[in-house]
Copies of this chain bind each other. A is one copy, B any other.
């Protein structure tokens, strides 16, 4: 039995109402989770703030369990749609924890008036993503709300998978001297969504990188026996992933900005819109931390996988400035990479 949360009304930071920033994946999301949800539901599994819960099962395996709601707008975007995203996002949270994704539950909230042709297209896309990821949808639910009470459709997917005993990946496991790697160029998903919303057009169309990362994660686990952790840098981008890691492991992280892979068209779109690519969401990339000695084999293995061809080492873990992330720019200066504050790109996933 947890302690009562205290008397209402509540305030978190300066807010007494939900603002878009509470869904940003940045500082406000973190405050909402740590100040409201974690105290209410208090248990060590939830409080670990991993992207997936790990439940003891038997002597040999652990069960990994994760959930995500998807509210992306527009529903269809270059390189994917809400259905593909709903499968990949949940599969990737399991994969990042070192688990083999196996089963999904999918729950739909539909707005009255949604064309059934759109729903079918989304569902077919989910099925294709499931086939690619090697998972099956074994449970589901459908609710319908009146026109104007939702926005076309929202999908919540919950995944379960098996994690082998003996491997414990955790954002609390990074140690000074470890290296940070990413599996490919960052920010494609966020900028693909934004380019549609803002009506931007580029010589090369920006496509979401949305993809299921279970296979890549398996390759990484084999190549780096002491791999510390993996995270898919979705909402809040690389900046959020590394800040959460730095806080949980009580280490500092140094990122060498010129080493971070970003496509020229993504960089260009970011400049046009005044955004920092280090904060922009990817939906088919993995960030990982590994001991320095294992990084050459890890990068080799990643580059041999279709979804890891652009893998690169981008920084390192240090003992200085625990809990903080610093970026060394190409011109030699360096700056603190804070968690996203406020909302940069609402409804990116």
Report the Cα distance A10→B149, complex, angstroms: 24
Report the Cα distance A32→B119, complex, angstroms: 10
Q: Which residues of B contact A68 (CB under 8 A)?
A: 107, 141
Can you sample 9 A-B contacts with CB below 8 Å? Answer: A16-B115, A17-B114, A40-B120, A40-B123, A65-B139, A67-B106, A67-B156, A145-B151, A146-B347
Q: A67-B156, A68-B141, A139-B65 are in contact. Are A5 and B124 (CB under 8 A)?
A: yes
Q: How many residues of A contact B (CB 8 A)?
A: 87
- State the oligomeric state as a number of copies: 2
Interface residues of A, Cβ cutoff 8 Å to B: 1-2, 4-5, 8-12, 15-23, 29, 32-33, 36-37, 40-41, 43, 45-46, 52-53, 55, 57-58, 63, 65-71, 73, 103, 105-117, 119-121, 123-124, 126-127, 130-131, 136-146, 148-151, 154, 156, 158, 160, 346-347, 349
Contact, CB under 8 Å: B116 / A17: yes
Report the nearest B residue to A122, measured CB to CB: B40
Leading 9 A-B pairs by shortest Cβ distance: A23-B144, A9-B117, A67-B105, A158-B158, A156-B156, A53-B138, A41-B137, A8-B117, A149-B151
